[in-house]
Amino acid sequence: MPRLELPELVRGARQSGPLAVRCAGRLMSLVTDEPQRLAELLAMCREWPQPRLVLGLTGSPGSGKSTLTDRLVLEYRTRFPADKIGVIAVDPSSPFTGGALLGDRVRMMQHATDPQVFIRSLASRGRLGGLALGVKGVVRVMGLVGCRVVLIETVGVGQSEVEIAQHADLTAVVLAPGQGDGIQLLKAGLLEVGDLFVINKADRDGAAALQAQLLAMLQRVDLVRHDRSANGVTTQVCHDVTTGPESDPSHARLFLTSAREHLGIAELVDALEARTEVAQERWRTEREEQIEAELQSAVLAEIERRAICTLRTNAAVVERFDRLLGGAEPLAAVVDEVLRRTIGDATSSTK
Ligand SMILES: Nc1nc2c(ncn2[C@@H]2O[C@H](COP(=O)(O)OP(=O)(O)OP(=O)(O)O)[C@@H](O)[C@H]2O)c(=O)[nH]1
Ligand SMILES: [Mg+2]
């Protein structure tokens, strides 16, 4: 594919067929390799379509996030055959993009040949901060090509699982019985980030006990439960009656599913669709504000980088800083000097 400039890539991605897929792929690489160019992209197409829902899936390792993601894709594709779906697998602990996520990709193989499903793996070389604009950029490109929903699955453990919530309109915390989840949850701060809780592997013993533990932690023992049984497995949806009527699926908060057996997935999507209907306008505004904040941070980080450079290398500044250390210079005067010299260096380098 010849090297195309941004406007051509954007136009191409809005078409359909193989060209659109290739252009979208190039745009996604661009926003992850050079996240600062997201601003250019946004300026070019202010009226881009956006996904109706960006759903984050996080939770304990091996709880079935990838399997559940796969089933959600299937459910959305079945319900809305004309619509596209995006999947982003984020591995904040891995220095590799692609290879480390092979396992997840294999599990998505049934969708790999579906031209309506866009799958992207991102790694952060150890810091999610560096991924922030990249993830947002990929979400935007997926919106551009017409993805109705974008699912973001985090791989790996630690703080990153919590941070992923910043990229999603809704965060689903996925748990499974037999992993000592209750304590893990509290440790990882997952309780706070969860908009929805999915206890997966309902086909296994211990799911009901985990649910009881979780309900106690959420202090929502007054949730109304709806049971459904199939193949000897009981799945369940719990409605938070403190926030709305029990008949309204947008208030469902806790789900018992078996991704392996395809159980409880339809109820989960019912709830996601109901919430989306109510909140999508607000989410759109919030996404704009987040991108603005993200770009502001990028600007400030660059200012800091340049100021540190001046502080360490500019002879006049170094001298004044030494005087500050010796108590002979007020701090404010050194700050002024750093700013002046940084700006001076910037102007001389642009001449
Ligand atoms: N019994 C049972 N097994 C399941 C279910 N869902 C997933 N599994 C199995 O659990 C294992 C882990 O599933 P994954 O989907 O890879 O879990 P994950 O949370 O994505 O794992 P990581 O990304 O490694 O944290 C696999 O062997 C799945 O087949 C379920 O509903 N019931
Ligand atoms: Mg996974």
Residue 348: burial class (beta carbons within 10 Å; 0-12, 13-18, 19+): exposed
Yes or no: say if 25 and 13 are a contact pair by the CB < 8 Å rule. Answer: no
The backbone torsions φ and ψ at residue 265, rounded to the nearest 5 degrees and listed phi first, read: -75, -40
Place of tokens 């260096």: 345
pLDDT at 157 over 60: no
**Residue 349 pLDDT:** 59
**Residue 135 pLDDT:** 85
pLDDT at 247 over 90: no
Yes or no: say if 93 and 158 are a contact pair by the CB < 8 Å rule. Answer: yes
**Residue 198 pLDDT:** 93
Higher pLDDT, 293 or 185: 293
Higher pLDDT, 224 or 148: 148
In the chain, which segments carry CATH 3.40.50.300?
A: 44-286
Whose CA is closest to atom 32 on ligand 1? 201
pLDDT digits (tens, 9 = 90+) for 290-345: 878 877 887 888 899 999 999 999 999 999 999 999 999 999 999 999 999 998 87
**What letter represents residue 286's amino acid?**
E
Task: Kindly report which listed range (126-130, 165-169, 281-285) carries the lowest average pLDDT score.
Answer: 126-130
Whole-number Å distance between alpha carbons of 329 and 345:
23
Which pTM value belongs to this model? Answer: 0.82
pLDDT at 174 over 80: yes
Residues 6+ apart with CB under 8 A from 183: none
With a Cβ cut-off of 6 Å, ligand 1 is lined by 61-67, 155, 200-201, 203-204, 258-260
Distance set, CA 296 to CA 62, 133, 338 (Å): 36, 11, 21
Distance set, CA 42 to CA 29, 98, 156, 319, 342 (Å): 16, 26, 30, 43, 29
**What letter represents residue 144's amino acid?**
L
Identify which of 60, 67, 110 to mutate to test ligand 1's pocket (most ligand atoms within 8 A of the CB). 67
Confidence class of residue 181 from pLDDT cuts 50, 70 and 90?
Answer: low
The backbone torsions φ and ψ at residue 210, rounded to the nearest 5 degrees and listed phi first, read: -65, -40
46-60, 65-79, 118-132, 172-186: which is most confident: 65-79
Confidence class of residue 187 from pLDDT cuts 50, 70 and 90?
Answer: low
Q: Mean of the pLDDT values across residues 153-177?
A: 77
**Residue 105 pLDDT:** 47
Q: Mean of the pLDDT values across residues 233-245?
A: 60
**Residue 160 pLDDT:** 59
CATH classification code of 44-286: 3.40.50.300
**What letter represents residue 238's amino acid?**
C
Q: Mean of the pLDDT values across residues 235-256?
A: 66
Higher pLDDT, 297 or 53: 53
User: 39, 47, 44, 92: which is closest to 293 by C-alpha?
Assistant: 39
**Residue 238 pLDDT:** 64
**Distance from Cα 215 to the centre of ligand 1, integer Å:** 23
pLDDT at 222 over 60: no
Residues with CB under 5 A from ligand 2 (ion): 65-66, 104
Whole-number Å distance between alpha carbons of 205 and 134:
40
Task: Kindly report which listed range (189-193, 230-234, 289-293) carries the lowest average pLDDT score.
Answer: 230-234
User: Distance between the two ends of the chain, CA-based, in angstroms?
Assistant: 37
pLDDT at 156 over 70: no
**Residue 221 pLDDT:** 47
Whole-number Å distance between alpha carbons of 42 and 210:
44
The backbone torsions φ and ψ at residue 10, rounded to the nearest 5 degrees and listed phi first, read: -65, -45
Q: According to the 3-state scheme, what is the secondary structure of the chain?
A: CCCCCHHHHHHHHHCCCHHHHHHHHHHHHHHHHCHHHHHHHHHHCCCCCCCCEEEEEEECCCCCHHHHHHHHHHHHHHHCCCCEEEEEEEECCCCCCCHHHHHHHHHCHHHHCCCCEEEEEEECCCCCHHHHHHHHHHHHHHHHCCEEEEEEEECCCCHHHHHHHHHCCEEEEEECCCCCHHHHHHHHCHHHHCCEEEECCCCCCCHHHHHHHHHHHHCCCCCEEEEEEECCEEEEEEECCCCCCCCCHHHEEEEECECCCCECHHHHHHHHHHHHHHHHHHHHHHHHHHHHHHHHHHHHHHHHHHHHHHHHHCHHHHHHHHHHHCCCCCHHHHHHHHHHHHHHHHHHHHC
pLDDT digits (tens, 9 = 90+) for 54-107: 999 988 788 899 899 999 999 999 999 999 999 998 865 554 444 444 445 445
Ligand found nearest the CA of 200: 1
Whose CA is closest to atom 8 on ligand 1? 64
Percent pLDDT > 90 in the chain is 35
What is the overall mean pLDDT for the chain?
80
CA atoms within 13 A on the CB side of 34: 8
The widest CA-to-CA distance across the chain, in whole angstroms, is 80
Confidence class of residue 193 from pLDDT cuts 50, 70 and 90?
Answer: confident
